[in-house]
Amino acid sequence: MSSVFLFTASVDYIITFYDNVNCLMLKSADEPNYYKPLLILIIFHKNMKYLPSQLLFFFQNKTTRKNLVLLTKFLGFIALIIAICSVLFHVLMLYEGREFSWVTGLYWTLTVMSTLGFGDIIFHTDLGLLFTLAVLSSGIILLLIMLPFTFIQFFYAPWLESQSKIRTPRELPKGTSGHIIITHLDPITEKLVAKLKRRHFQYVLVEPELQRASELYDAGYKVVVGEPDDPETYHRLRIKDAALVVATNDDLVNTSVAFTVREITASVPIVTSANQEHSLDILKFPGNTHVFQFAKMLGHELGKRTRGLGRPVNIVSRFDSLNIAEISAAQTSLSGQRLFDLEMRAKTGASIVGIWEKGRFEIPTRDTVISDRALLLLAGTTSQLERFEEHYAVTEKPIPTDSPVLILGGGRVGLAAAEILDEHGIRYHVVEKRPNLTMGKGEKFIQGDAADIKILEKAGLMGARTVIITTHNDAMNIYLAFYCRQLRPDIQIISRATNERSVSKLHMAGADLVMSFASMGANSIINILKNDEISMFTEGLNIFSCPMPRSLVGGNLIDSNIRETTGCSVIALKSLQGLVVGPDPSMPLRLEDEIILIGSTESEQHFLELY
């Protein structure tokens, strides 16, 4: 059993090497056989090149050297016991009138102490049998109990720790600059890291726990071990040369992080999140450049998308003079018509740059037929959108003033959505399960389970215009979206999502629009670094800009095949002469122009990788 523990470290390393070889051999199954030995040698070199640095780090540690001395002394003590038992074996065998070699004595001692006990050599006297029991007992204690735990404590555990420290460093290399320091990993910073990777920004994640840091390293994150409130951590992270510090911990930790960073440098921008309203002034005091209330931002955006909030064309984002707006096809005269027949650009100057229906985004073509269930995404200046309304918006049946909006969830997001509805004088009811969030807040707040049809009927679901689902539990949001859609097939359903994988499920369940503070927060932060992420129309659909790729200069949009190769669509060009919305596909593309596009997250990534 002890030999198993003595070999564990080597086995771990060999298994890692074998798994890498096996994985690559599977991937290269179609390659000629003469390539495979070379592939194995490449992987062997890749794994072996880290071993010397790990050994050097391991044996340079003072505690490790001390532990090895203690382990060596213990092994010497065991060797001494084995030697004494071998000598006593010869003495007792001579007492019984038998004689064996010294090798046989060592063999007998080890087989008895390790509990193998082959039984080929035994004593015949009581004294010999008592000696056998003593050797057996000492072997159980020394070899099977004390040796494995001593080996683990003084060698194997420090070895694993040294491996983790090698893999998860405690400082950045000299010369590192322009990087983003992230003090906490949460849904916002997870999304942010993905965007930083796509735009080739350097980043580092600070993690105080070594084990957690190793897990994040294995998951593909660039992580450094350190306390987020320790000045030495930021010195090791080259804080003076960083581009940005992002702190999305709780308000107390964010305040400590901000003071710690400002203790070292006053120039590096700091972005923090604020959970509570009263924390805003405190978080701004240490010199934070930007303080965001992401939950409140999300609630406001959800509230603004309520049907009947304002004019038919709802502007969701602005970029200089370019407006990005949405309008339901049911609010226009376009339902059932083909885009080619409309001559929309000639009449209004605005253009339909996207169609969103049942959670699926489509870039329209000349032959696209507009469905009455579609949500149209428009691009144009203010005057162009006004002309669009004049030509195509239809007068809907007025929504009754007593038709409420249901907000399912009375947390920070739900209350922020209610603020927007209050500003526009729209009646609403908030359904919240927790009594402490509804007590004493008047008739607008209804305490109860939103999954209970009686509670929904009491809140006015059957006459409501919109349901806004704001709970932080995606599974509950999916359930509520489906439940409300079954009860009211014609109602507008807007939902919050925490995880990106829940977006498609929410749309399948019946949600018309899905948004999350993770994507919204990541967009807000990335805009501080580089103003190329204009907005998130809905979860998974982005409008972004970038300098004109050199490979497109001199050509035109027809020749570029951007839509066919990436899935993105060009909605405008920004040049020194101004903004051109819906540019002529035959217009020459110039290096000084800036290109503005729309596409899904996957299409955006494909475009950035390609260009």
The 10s digit of each residue's pLDDT in 462-493 is: 999 899 999 989 999 999 999 999 999 989 89
Q: Does residue 17 register a pLDDT over 80?
A: no
Distance of alpha carbon 213 from alpha carbon 220, whole angstroms: 11
From 144-153, 205-214, 451-460, 524-533, the region with the lowest mean pLDDT: 524-533
* pLDDT of 203 above 90: yes
Upper half-sphere CA count for residue 247 (Cβ side, 13 Å): 28
Which pLDDT belongs to residue 326? 80
Q: What is the pLDDT of residue 72?
A: 85
Query: In the prediction, which pLDDT does 604 show?
Result: 82
Distance CA 143, CA 75 (A): 10
Place of tokens 């993105």: 568
pLDDT at 13 over 50: no
Domain architecture of the chain: domains with CATH: 50-167 (1.10.287.70), 180-292 (3.40.50.720), 309-392 (3.30.70.1450), 405-517 (3.40.50.720), 540-610 (3.30.70.1450)
DSSP-derived pairing of the beta strands 180-182 and 244-247:
parallel
Count Cα neighbours of 473 within 13 Å in the Cβ-side half-sphere. Answer: 7
- CB 270 within 8 Å of CB 258: yes
- 3-state DSSP call for residue 213? helix
Please compute the mean of the pLDDT values over residues 293-302 and round it to a whole number: 90
CA dihedral sign of residues 115, 118, 124, 128:
negative
By the 8 A CB rule, do 307 and 465 touch? yes
Those residues with Cβ within 8 angstroms of residue 21's Cβ, 6 or more apart along the chain or in another chain? 39, 40, 43, 44
The Cα–Cα gap between 501 and 515 comes to 12
Angle value at C-alpha 198, between 194 and 201, nearest 5 degrees: 90
Helix (H) or strand (E) holding 413: helix 412-423
Q: Phi and psi for 267 in degrees, rounded to 5?
A: -105, -25
User: How far apart, in whole angstroms, are the C-alpha atoms of residue 456 and residue 484?
Assistant: 9
End-to-end CA distance of the chain: 58
CA dihedral 101, 102, 105, 110 (to 10 degrees): -130
Contact 468, 414 (CB under 8 A): yes
Q: Tokens in use for 386?
A: 């006004």
Closest CA to 78 of 121, 47, 110, 123: 110
Question: Can you tell me the distance from the alpha carbon of 135 to that of 82, in angstroms, rounded to the nearest whole number?
Answer: 9
Look at 44-58, 185-199, 313-327, 511-525 and tell me which has the smallest mean pLDDT.
44-58
Widest CA span of the chain, in angstroms? 119
Instruction: Name the pTM for this structure.
Output: 0.66
Strand arrangement of the beta sheet that strand 492-496 belongs to? 445-447, 428-432, 405-408, 466-469, 492-496, 513-515
In this predicted model, what pLDDT tens digit does every residue of 372-429 receive, in sequence order? Answer: 778 888 888 888 888 888 888 876 555 666 789 999 999 999 999 999 999 988 999 9
Positive/negative CA dihedral, 164, 170, 175, 179: positive
Residue 29 has pLDDT above 60, yes or no: no
Cβ(325)–Cβ(348) below 8 Å: no
101 by Cβ neighbours in 10 Å (0-12 / 13-18 / 19+) ranks as: exposed
Q: What is the pLDDT of residues 151-187, one digit of tens each?
A: 887 777 776 666 656 666 788 888 899 999 999 999 8
- Split at pLDDT 50, 70, 90, the class of 358 is low
Q: How many residues does the chain have?
A: 611
Question: What SS3 state is found at 30?
Answer: coil
Residue 532: per-residue pLDDT: 52
CB distance 363 to 354 below 8 Å: yes
From 8-12, 158-162, 270-274, 285-289, the region with the lowest mean pLDDT? 8-12
Distance separating alpha carbons of residues 270 and 262, to the nearest angstrom: 9
User: 3-state class of 242 per DSSP?
Assistant: coil
**pLDDT (tens digit per residue) in 501-530:** 788 889 889 888 888 878 888 888 888 886
The whole-angstrom separation of Cα 326 and Cα 471 is 25
Closest-CA residue to 484 (of 497, 500, 495, 473): 495
The identity of residue 411, as a single letter, is G
Q: What is the mean pLDDT of the chain?
A: 81
Nearest by Cα to 544 from 345, 326, 319: 319
CA distance 376 to 326: 6
User: Cα separation of 204 and 199, whole Å?
Assistant: 15
Q: How far is CA 462 from CA 255, 449, 455, 472, in A?
A: 46, 17, 12, 25
Asked whether residue 531 carries a pLDDT value surpassing 80, the answer given is no
How many other CB atoms are found less than 10 A from the CB of residue 602?
12
* pLDDT for 272: 92
Three-class SS state of 305: coil
**Residue 610 — very low, low, confident or very high, per pLDDT cuts 50/70/90?**
confident
Tell me the CA distances in angstroms from 395 to 311, 327, 373, 435, 494, one per residue in order.
Answer: 11, 13, 17, 42, 23
Q: Which of 130, 141, 153 is nearest to 1 (CA)?
A: 141
Give 86-135 pLDDT, tens digit per residue: 999 999 999 898 989 999 999 999 999 988 888 889 999 999 999 999 99
